[in-house]
Amino acid sequence: MRVLHFFKTYYPDTTGGIEQVMFQLCQGNRAFGVEGQVLTLSPEPSPARIQVADHEVVRVKENFNLASTGFSVPVFRRFKAMAAEADLVHFHFPWPMMDVVHFATRHGRPSVLSYHSDIIKQRTLLKLYAPLMNQMLKSMDRILVASPNYQRSSETLQPFVNKTVVVPYGLDESAYPLVLPERQAHWQQQVPEKFFLFVGVLRYYKGLATLLDALEGADYPVLILGGGPQEQELKAQAERLNLRNVRFLGRLDDADKACLLQLCHALVFPSHLRSEAFGISLLEASMYGKPMISCEIGTGTTFVNLHEETGLAVPPENPLALREAMRRLWDDPQLASRFGTQARARFEQVFTARQMCKTTVEVYRQVLSERAALRP
């Protein structure tokens, strides 16, 4: 089976959560007899065809970008040609340009769409886009969503509940680097013996301003791993609050991230808006057997992190509640250890890449079978 994945960005140009899910699908689905290809946009698509691990990525020129939406003229022709060679097209939402390409090319291929997130920030543009968006969702054979929480809480998905399938994101543990003793020794000298860790891009919806407010007057060491558009603003806030227990590490490689996840006491993940549809960092913390603190925002964050089972869930934008959750995990190491053990067990049961790929391929086969039955 040949499957074409289509999204606005992909490796090596960008490295977000959607890209990671696409990567896991392209790689992991090979074990189930599925060959994945990716078509994406790039500001500098040279060379146009590249190999990422074991799958091919085709990049076409992004002509311009408006409201986080990449636009491209040559993508229409390229998509139509690649779709003609595929058995099924797997779209990744949201990206309005994708909807236009889908309808304009009239490719006719069976289609599955991963609904990664509601459109949150561009609410005004959403009013203009909504008719096209709803037609796009209506035209899909199946819609995949990563958690039952998101399926229940997304108004956009309600009309399409009969074609929506929950397929939790998963990680391939073998793809993560082994932590070498010398690297571990290096970080043990650099960081406190006990600390909270945040991992992620420093974006507007990550809730880090609330985390910094929660730390005012407290002395819990917190390491913030990642860079992003909010970095300078957050550093200024930390300086204003006179926080000496917070350290911004910037971007680090995967080996350093793995080491810090192993060493940390717990992961704190205070995302407060629905733009945070799942939280891959929570999956990583679960994989390393760490307790978690997240916010209840009706998305996959509290599908991964079950309150009082794998960690604690607090109301969003509530510094006092966040600080109290940190206090509980800090003062009760037995509770933190129990949550971490249960997080690891839940990862093995629900969140492996193999399980995600197996369920996705089952959906592909159902769709192809249904389409075949409709042929005269």
Based on the fold, state whether residues 84 and 123 are members of the same structural domain.
yes
Percent of the chain with pLDDT over 70: 99
Residue 165 and residue 31 share a domain: yes
The predicted model gives 206-214 an average pLDDT of 98
Q: Which two tokens stand for residue 321?
A: 């509640």
231 with 118, same domain?
Answer: no
For residue 15, what pLDDT band results from cuts at 50, 70 and 90?
A: confident
Query: Are 158 and 245 within one domain?
Result: no
Positive or negative, the CA dihedral 159, 160, 166, 172 is negative
Confidence label for 64 from pLDDT (cuts 50, 70 and 90): confident
Find the CATH number of the domain harbouring 103: 3.40.50.2000
Residues 60 and 91 in one domain: yes
Residues 112 and 187 in one domain: no
pLDDT tens track for 284-338: 999 999 999 999 999 999 999 999 999 999 999 999 999 999 999 999 999 999 9
Identify whether residues 201 and 329 lie together within a single domain. Answer: yes
Cβ proximity of 278 and 299 under 8 Å: yes
Find all residues with CB under 8 Å of 181, minimum gap 6, and list them.
none
Q: What is the average pLDDT across 130-140?
A: 96
State the number of CA atoms in the 13 A half-sphere of 54 facing the CB: 12
pLDDT at residue 256 in the model: 97
Q: Is the domain of 197 the same as that of 320?
A: yes
Looking at the fold, whether 162 and 279 belong to one and the same domain comes out as no
Q: Which residue has the tokens 């916010």?
A: 295
As for how many domains the chain has, the answer is 2
Band of residue 69 on the pLDDT scale cut at 50, 70, 90: confident
Which pTM was predicted? Answer: 0.91
Compute the distance between CA of residue 261 and CA of residue 66 in angstroms, rounded to an integer: 36
Length of the chain: 376
Residue given tokens 């990671």 in the structure block: 20
Are 136 and 189 within one domain?
A: no
In this structure, are 146 and 21 located in the same domain? yes
CB 171 within 8 A of CB 279: no
Look up the domain containing 292 and give its range: 173-350
Tell me: do 135 and 205 sit in the same domain.
no
